[in-house]
Each structure stands twice: as C-alpha cells, then as structure tokens.
Structure 1
C-alpha cells in the first residue's frame, strides 16, 4: 500500500476513535492568550506529547513488550544471474556431410534425453564405405587362406619363402585397411559386426549427446549439412550455479560456505537457498566488482539462461537485541520506536519517541541499537507502532483532541 494512503487511513481511524470515545466529554478550550513565557513553554511541551486513550490503544491492538535476544546475521547484497559452466553446454552437429531427414519437431526450451534420435542424415557415400568394408574383408579372407597354403608348401619344401613373405605383408595391409574402415563406420554409428550385403544402410542417426534443454535450432528437413555446422545447442541444468557480483568494499566479508538467499524477480518472490562456493580472482575494473560462484541447495528455480537474480550473502550469525520489524518506524533520515510507562493512571496513555539505529533484518526481526537508554518503568510498542506514529503527526497539525 502506498505510504501516504496508509498514513491517511490511520489518521482517519484515530480521529474517529477520538470523537467516538469522547462524545460525552466537554470540549476543552485552549488558552488563546499567553500571559507569560512560562505558560508558552508549557503549551509547547504539551503539544509535543503523544497521547492515545486506552480505548484507542485497545481498539488498534497496540501491544507492548521488550527486546528479544535473537541471532540475526548481517548480509551483503549482490546481483547476478543463474549460470552454467562451459561443460554444461553441448553443440549438436552431423558426423559427416549429408541431408537432414525426419527431423523431430523440437522448439527452443524442449527437454531432450541423452541418446534420443533427433534426426537422420542421408548420404550415398555411406553405402560406398560399407561396400568398401565388405570388399576388403573378402580380400583379406582370400589372402589369409593363400598365406596358409603357401606356409604349408614351404614347410614341405615345395614352396617359395618370397611368396610367403609377400602374402604376409598383404595380409597386414588389408587388416589395417579393414580396421580403419571399421573405425570410421563405428564413428558414424554403423556397426560392422553383422554387416552383410543384405543390410547396408544409406542413412545414420543424429543423437542427443546429453540430456538437457534445447536453446537453439539451426536445422530442418532437406537441409544439406557438414560436420562444421552447429545444428542445435543443448544445455544441462545439473550444474546450475549462482554467478553473483559483489562490490569491492564488501569482498573482504565474503568467505566460502556462507549461506545465500536469492530471488528471481521474473519468476516471483519465492526465496531460494544456496552457499558460496568459489570467490573469483579477477577484479572488474569497470563495475568495481568481483564474481562469486555459489552452489544451489534444495529447491531450485526454473532455469532460464541469463535470468537476473537478487541475492543476500549472509555473514556469521551473532546474538543481538532485536525488535519486530513493524515496531521500528522510518521517519525521514532516522528510525525510531515508541515507549510508554507500563502503568499509567487516567484514561490516556502517553507515548515517547526514541530514536534508534536499525541494523540487519532477518525473519521479521531487526537488530536495534539505542541512542539513549530507556528507563526500566517503560515498555516498547511492539505492535501498532504506526498508529502511534500517525498520532504524532496529527499532533504536529495542532488538532489533537481529548
């Protein structure tokens, strides 16, 4: 709610309670003529008093309490993005040149599993490679048989050593050729274990190299591609982390394993958790910041590349005196709280404004340092402080009524 509207509503409530709670009382006539300086000083002092009737205090649910001793951690604010390490990205490309066929209907943001068929690649050269393999395999079988026969003749003193040596060299060369073709076909995804003239294929599959989300697509059916072309990019969020920029003045406070709480404004106000993992070693001269890398914990936000985040890096916990966040009023350049004597006679309760130094806020409580001490007979307004603040502003307008 707009601050001005809230203040106006509270002022209206106070006026209503004042008029209703005092309708049976006689109006008090303010002194119009100030006869002495003493009377003037007394009037000014009265105008500075903040007073509410006990009925108003009850109706506005104003309650009193004391400081709480709780653990509140200071924090360093930071901004950044959800990032990924280089090995979280994978480019998809064809293993040889050819034409794209039966491309799946992926769009950016689609999730894909490792090993999933993304498209087929057709190329007549694939047929020639398999044909060559089968031909070399047949030649090798013949050479091995001939080598075996020549060795038998040589053992029987009927053969020629030179023929054996020549055949042995040819067997070695054909073996190397065959293994090379087999490795090439295996790289393309064609197994030679059961390859025959009856199962030669004319196309190969393009498979997803890893599981993740598609971030770019540069292929379509009928498109001629080469191994140098990037057809698609897949990102895996398994190694998603925080990339935060911390200002130079705060970097000395940051240590590994400190807790991080962060929000992704574009996705709502939900708070997620993480911790400091690595403190960067490079200083950004332009922005006067250092990069902090943080690990995510438990529940993670939906990943959208380079999405802006706001974070708090929490420093070591310490026990401090604190008050509920709503009991501290920010008024211009300073913060204040309100106190009142625990026991007061009469129909009204008088409040006193105390200036304080507000510190870190955590889980609804704010650490507080007093500028001046509070006497033991006074209690702090822990709920409804804004009503008292509104009454103080009403009093400044000179319209306070009893």
Structure 2
C-alpha cells in the first residue's frame, strides 16, 4: 500500500510540473499567423538614457532686442509703423516736434561763433606772451574763456547729434523744430506705444524691435537636474501649442545662480535657426542623461496582462504551429519606440519574439492559455 501511494504521489507531482511548464504557453497556427497582424523579430541593442523635461520660452539675445525711446520731449508728428512691420537699421521710425529744438540749435550756432572769436583771441595772446608783451595772468584769462566755451560748444554738438540734427546745416542757419528717430537694429516691430499727435517724454518706451534671425531658448532647469547638464549638450524641444514636431538644440550657456523658484536659467540655441519661431512661444524641452546600451524590443512586442507586462518568445516551430512562451518583464520607460527587455526570469535572448500582434493574441486567449 505504501508503495502504491508513493507511485501515485510521484505521478501527481510529475503531472503538476508538466502542467506548470505549459501554463505560460500560447500556440498559434501558421495559417493564423499568415492571416493575422503578426510579426516575429529578435531583440536588438538600443541606447537608453535618463530623460527629464524642462520648460521655457523662445527669446532673442540682448543685442537682438532694441527698446527705442527718445532723449527729448515732443509731440509725435509722424509715425506709420505697426506691430509686425519689418525695418532695417537706419530706417525712420518717427518724428518729434518741439519749438524748444530751435532754441538748442540757436544756442549752438551763437556759441560756435563766440568760440571762433575766443580761439583767435587765445592764439593771439599766446603769441604776445611768447614775445613778453602781456602778462601770464592775461594769457590765462584768455585761455580759460576759450576752454570753457569749447567745452560748452562740444556739449551742444553732442546734444544735437543725439537729436540726429546736422550741425553743419545749423551753422548755415537752417533750423528745424522736428527731430527724427531711426531704427538702431534691423528686425520686426514687436511693440508700438505711440500714436500721431501724442506728447512723448523722454522716459516713454516708443517701440520694441526684435531681430528674430538668431533666436534662442530660455529654459528653467530645476536644481536637482542642473548637474546633469553640460555646455554643448544636445536636447530635443517642441512648441506644444503649434504641433508635436520635435527640433534639436544645444546648450550654449548655463546660469550661475539658482533663482527664487529653485531653478537655473539655461540658454540653448536651435540647430536650425531657419524655422519660423516667434519670440515668447512656450517650449517643452527634453534632456537625456547617462546613456546605456540595453537589449530591447519594439513597444508593440510588450503586452499587459493582469497589470503585469509580458513578451512572447518563440520556443518551438513545427510544420503547422508556432509555440510561444509568455515571459514576465520589467515595465521600463520607452524611448524611440523601444523598451528595454529585462526580466527576473532567465530567457534565451537570441531567440525570436513576437514583435507585433501579441496584444490581440493574448486577448484572443480570453485570459487563459493553450496547454
């Protein structure tokens, strides 16, 4: 009786082991394979990196942005530009009118005439001093008057140059009550804060001009990720409000301090500056860090069953059937359409896998398996 019982126990254990060995197996006929959306493939090496997201905006360098204002008060007598208009460096932006401009020009002309007299007087007395005809005191007085007037005239001349007034024309007696303001850089008008007839003081921002030929990215990187970024590193970015198209850029500068939001400002330049980026656009950027080579499969090879990720590996091919084994794998982040192939269980990495159609096959099994 003991012998009989032992034999039955051994037989039951053998049956259980055999059933367990087949419980993760799925059989697919070749006819089903040919008629269905199935595909076989082998695991391949792919590079995977730690990826993290940052946000920012499109901007231009400081030398590509010009805030235009006037050094003088006056009424706007001419302006025709609108937001979006393109201007070249030196183009007329607007004209200001003020009768006080005439007084400045008159002062310059009168003082310039006085300067010519004092200069000749200084030179004459310099010669008299050399001949010991006059005293040193008389000469110093002439020199002081000349130098004081020279400084005054030079100051008035600089003022007229800031007004863009031709000093030679002023000396010829041609005065004007209008001054012109010209574009300091080439670009597009981004802001216009004036209108015809408006009184303008010298603290008013007239216009803003942006040269968008050389845009860059202003990114805010959190403190914990700053040390992962180095100058020259590449990144991908997109403008989510427009499309999902991805662009390339590289890190140009890394800020030196952490701001109140516990982030650091990063400057990055797009690889292709010909794209029509507008200043102020919201940007999502993605950095990759610590690249590693991993055995991987396309994401279509991974199927979810009972909240656990699996792949199907081909274990046997007969004349009419494919036999697949379900292997439980780690759910790791996807990159470029592939996932790393990692499992706590051993498997033959060189054997083919079902890289497409696995989801339909598992669903078709109704949650069970073909033993």
TM > 0.5: yes
Distance 1:247 1:143, change over 3 A: closer
Query: What residue in structure 1 maps to residue 197 of structure 2?
Result: 222
Query: What residue in structure 1 maps to residue 314 of structure 2?
Result: 340
Alignment size in residue pairs: 355
Q: Is the 8 A contact 2:303 2:358 kept in 1?
A: no
Query: What residue in structure 1 maps to residue 70 of structure 2?
Result: 94
> What SS does the corresponding residue of 2:158 show, helix, strand or coil?
helix
Q: Does 1:329 align with 2:298?
A: no
Q: Is the 8 A contact 1:52 1:350 kept in 2?
A: yes
Q: Is the 8 A contact 2:226 2:264 kept in 1?
A: no
Query: What residue in structure 2 maps to residue 273 of structure 1?
Result: 248
Out of 108, 112, 137, the position equivalent to 1:137 is 112
> What SS does the corresponding residue of 1:317 show, helix, strand or coil?
strand
Q: Is the 8 A contact 2:215 2:279 kept in 1?
A: no
Out of 54, 63, 82, the position equivalent to 1:106 is 82
Q: What runs of 5+ residues in structure 1 fail to find an aligned partner?
A: 1-37
Q: Is the 8 A contact 1:215 1:235 kept in 2?
A: yes
Query: What residue in structure 2 maps to residue 172 of structure 1?
Result: 147
Out of 6, 15, 27, the position equivalent to 1:51 is 27
Q: Does 1:390 align with 2:345?
A: no
> What SS does the corresponding residue of 2:329 show, helix, strand or coil?
strand
For residue 327 of structure 1, report the CA deviation from its aligned partner: 1.9
Distance 1:181 1:202 in 2: 16
Distance 1:342 1:283, change over 3 A: farther
Distance 1:112 1:267, change over 3 A: farther
Query: What residue in structure 2 maps to residue 34 of structure 1?
Result: none
Out of 284, 304, 320, the position equivalent to 2:294 is 320
Q: What runs of 5+ residues in structure 2 fail to find an aligned partner?
A: 1-13
Mapping of 1:13-92 within 5 angstroms?
50-84=26-60, 89-92=65-68
For residue 392 of structure 1, report the CA deviation from its aligned partner: 1.9
What do you get for the CA RMSD once the two structures are aligned? 3.7
> What SS does the corresponding residue of 1:184 show, helix, strand or coil?
helix
Distance 1:331 1:105, change over 3 A: farther
For residue 54 of structure 1, report the CA deviation from its aligned partner: 1.1
Distance 1:283 1:159 in 2: 70
CA displacement, residues 340-399 of structure 1 (integer Å, 9 cap, x when unaligned): 2352233x33333222124344433322212322247952112x2xx332232232178x
Q: Does 1:181 align with 2:156?
A: yes
Which deviates more from structure 2 when the two are superposed, residues 54-63 or residues 266-275?
Answer: 54-63
Mapping of 1:144-163 within 5 angstroms?
144-146=119-121
Distance 1:279 1:57, change over 3 A: farther
Distance 1:155 1:48 in 2: 117
Distance 2:270 2:232 in 1: 12
Query: What residue in structure 2 maps to residue 12 of structure 1?
Result: none
Mapping of 1:367-386 within 5 angstroms?
367-375=340-348, 378-382=351-355, 384=356
Distance 2:294 2:24 in 1: 32
CA displacement, residues 275-303 of structure 1 (integer Å, 9 cap, x when unaligned): 34416632656xxx533514223114533
For residue 229 of structure 1, report the CA deviation from its aligned partner: 1.0
Distance 1:251 1:352, change over 3 A: farther
Distance 1:150 1:397 in 2: 115
Instruction: Normalising by structure 2, report the TM-score.
Output: 0.80
